[in-house]
Amino acid sequence: MLKPILGAACLLAAAADAALAEQGGPGAFKVVNVSANDVLNIRSGPSVDHSIVAELQPDSRGIVVTGSCRAQWCPVQHEIGSGWVNRRFIAREGLKLASLPSARNDAFAPERPSRSGNTSGQSPAETAFNFFLTQGWSEHQAAGIVGNLQVECGPAFTCSNGSGGIAQWRGDRVTRFRQIFGYPFSSASLQDQLAYIQWELTHPDSPWKDSGYILRNARDEVSAASLFDQHYERSAGTSRGQRISNARAILKKYGGRPAS
């Protein structure tokens, strides 16, 4: 099954890169799909694991794509700096890259600085909590998600990708990650896995989107942890008390702080 998927992914990526080349040239691109109070991060490499070297404003133009894109990341140059940006958020006048066939991750929101300005020094749990806040979840809903992940993967998210990652994915859910991101789950970073949870909860093509709809109805961390366990993790329920306890601790530790 993987050979047809890999072949299709390569063809789609090549088509997108060809489209980028046709649009190329100095000042060919601008920032798109970024809200007025947000920024698009330029990173030192092609993933969110790399450091932020500059921030493009929502109205930024004059962006040059300097080479071939890798999965959802493209090398760019701008007067404020050069590096890599998510291809979801750049486009030529009149064309959005999200419409290209290889841009499969169109449910992801633009990167936002965490409440501390960056994720350095944060625990994995705090990174996850802040990530889900930037995706529009409430504090108690984010706490419910993270409390569950701590049961699945340990309080410090110490499980390996080989064991199913932070949400203990199995089977077609692991295969689907590759279809969406363009590389195997074994290479997934923490941020990739968080983004995949967001995709499963919210994307119209996700078989798990109903669990996201249900989670939106949670009005406190107890119901959020319970609903995420019942409808997303679908565990036997034996550790639900621990999931709720974790959610309470996460909300107490990281919730209720003003944005910096």
Q: What is the pLDDT of residues 167-196, one digit of tens each?
A: 988 888 988 888 888 788 888 889 999 999
Flag residues of the chain having pLDDT under 70. 1-27, 71, 93-120, 257-260
Amino acid at 82: S
**pTM beyond 0.85, yes or no:** no
Helix (H, G, I), strand (E, B) or coil at 76: strand
State residue 124's pLDDT score.
93
CB 128 within 8 Å of CB 145: yes
Report CA torsion sign: 201, 172, 86, 115. positive
What's the confidence (pLDDT) of residue 148? 97
Rounded-to-integer distance, Cα 51 and Cα 42, Å: 9
Q: How far apart are CA 173 and CA 165, in angstroms?
A: 11
pLDDT in the model for residue 239? 95
How do residues 222-243 score in pLDDT, each as one tens digit?
A: 999 999 999 999 999 999 999 9
Give the model's pLDDT for residue 105. Answer: 36
DSSP string, 225-251: HHHHIIIII---STTHHHHHHHHHHHH
Q: How far apart are CA 218 and CA 229, in angstroms?
A: 12
**Residue 120 has what pLDDT?**
54
Q: Domains (ranges, CATH) in the chain?
A: 29-92 (2.30.30.40), 124-254 (1.10.530.10)
